[in-house]
């Protein structure tokens, strides 16, 4: 039996999130179905983390333990022929026995896309959040700088099962615009993320960017550790899990 680390890209539009559910179509469920077809037995899939309903991934990571005597490239190809168009295995590589997609991860990077325009865009609707009010990029960035370092993020999410702490470290929180284009991108890397954390952060940051609250207010909201103080969560289709990082 060999252990493989697997990188997965998916379009979350038509899925009830990553995590297997008996009565709903999920990414994990589809991958386990493909694995069962290939290996004629149930192969459990261990993801680096869950993504919510409608959230995408450029680089979700999972591990599997299987009996496979061919090159890992062939395993990738075999799985991709069995998977639907909106899920693709980008990379398969053999890893040591002690590798665990979730426990070994040292950081994760998410990206949130905003289409900052008064009109909705049919061609961007599946992968971004249309925000009508003009957002101030400097204000967005100033508030995001407060997130850097170690904080208790209880305002912005709920603890995931197994880890009651709501403290996480943020390494990067950066806004980009496409040279004056209405496409704003928020990239955030951290040691880990609470459930709903990125979307709640973005929902609250947009209140700063549209001058409804100040950067100082945002800092106070973070420090309050009061879930009810968070702005409404930004919608799922703007979010993508870009990558999961592991020690070299």
Q: Which is nearer to a copy of itself, 18 or 218 (CB)?
A: 18
Q: Residue 70 is encoded by which pair of tokens? A: 């061919």
Cα separation values, 80 from 33, 171, 226, Å: 12, 33, 44
Q: If binding is defined by CB under 8 A, does position 82 make contact with a copy of itself?
A: no
Rounded to an integer, what distance in angstroms lies between the CA atom of residue 226 and that of residue 243? 29
User: What CA dihedral angle connects 219, 128, 107 and 83, to 10 degrees?
Assistant: 160
Interface segment toward a copy of itself; rule CB under 8 A; list 60-68, 113-121, 196-204, 219-227? 113-121
Cα separation values, 217 from 85, 139, 167, 204, Å: 44, 12, 20, 10
Q: Position of tokens 């702490």?
A: 165
Closest separation in Å from C-beta 164 to a copy of itself? 34
Q: Which is nearer to a copy of itself, 76 or 151 (CB)?
A: 76
Which helix (H) or strand (E) segment holds residue 204: the answer is helix 197-209
Q: Which is nearer to a copy of itself, 53 or 145 (CB)?
A: 53
Q: Residue 49 is encoded by which pair of tokens? A: 């983390």
Q: Is residue 97 annotated as a catalytic residue, yes or no?
A: no
Tell which one of 5, 56, 111, 168 touches a copy of itself (CB under 8 A): 56
Q: If binding is defined by CB under 8 A, does position 88 make contact with a copy of itself?
A: yes
Interface segment toward a copy of itself; rule CB under 8 A; list 87-95, 157-165, 177-185, 223-231? 87-95
Q: Which is nearer to a copy of itself, 19 or 80 (CB)?
A: 80
Q: Residue 13 is encoded by which pair of tokens? A: 């539009």
> Which residues from 114-173 bind a copy of itself, rule CB under 8 A?
119-123, 125-127
Helix residue ranges, H only, 59-195: 72-82, 137-145
Interface segment toward a copy of itself; rule CB under 8 A; list 33-41, 81-89, 172-180, 220-228? 81-89
What 3-state DSSP class applies to 126? Answer: coil
Q: If binding is defined by CB under 8 A, does position 58 make contact with a copy of itself?
A: yes
Site residues (CB under 8 A) for a copy of itself? 9-11, 56, 58, 80, 85-88, 90, 119-123, 125-127, 240
Q: Which residues are catalytic?
A: 52
């Amino acid at each position: 039996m060999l252990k493989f680390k697997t990188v997965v890209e998916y379009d979350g539009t038509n899925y009830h999130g990553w995590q297997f559910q008996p009565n709903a179509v999920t990414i994990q469920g589809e991958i386990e179905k493909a694995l069962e077809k290939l290996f004629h037995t149930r192969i459990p899939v261990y993801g680096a983390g869950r993504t919510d309903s409608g959230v995408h991934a450029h680089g979700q990571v999972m591990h599997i333990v299987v009996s496979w005597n061919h090159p890992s490239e062939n395993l990738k190809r075999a799985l991709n022929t069995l998977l639907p168009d909106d899920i693709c295995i980008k990379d398969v590589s053999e890893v040591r026995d002690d590798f665990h997609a979730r426990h070994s991860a040292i950081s994760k990077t998410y990206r949130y896309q905003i289409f900052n325009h008064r009109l909705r865009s049919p061609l961007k609707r599946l992968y971004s959040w249309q925000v009508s009010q003009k957002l101030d990029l400097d204000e967005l960035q100033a508030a995001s700088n407060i997130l850097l370092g170690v904080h208790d993020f209880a305002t912005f999410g709920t603890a995931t099962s197994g880890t009651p702490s709501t403290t996480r470290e943020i390494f990067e929180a950066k806004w980009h615009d496409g040279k004056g284009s209405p496409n704003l991108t928020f990239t955030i890397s951290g040691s880990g993320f609470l459930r709903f954390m990125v979307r709640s952060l973005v929902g609250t940051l947009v209140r700063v960017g549209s001058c409804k609250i100040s950067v100082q207010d945002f800092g106070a909201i973070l420090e309050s550790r009061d879930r009810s103080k968070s702005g409404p969560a930004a919608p799922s289709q703007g979010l993508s899990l870009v990558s999961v990082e592991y020690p070299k």
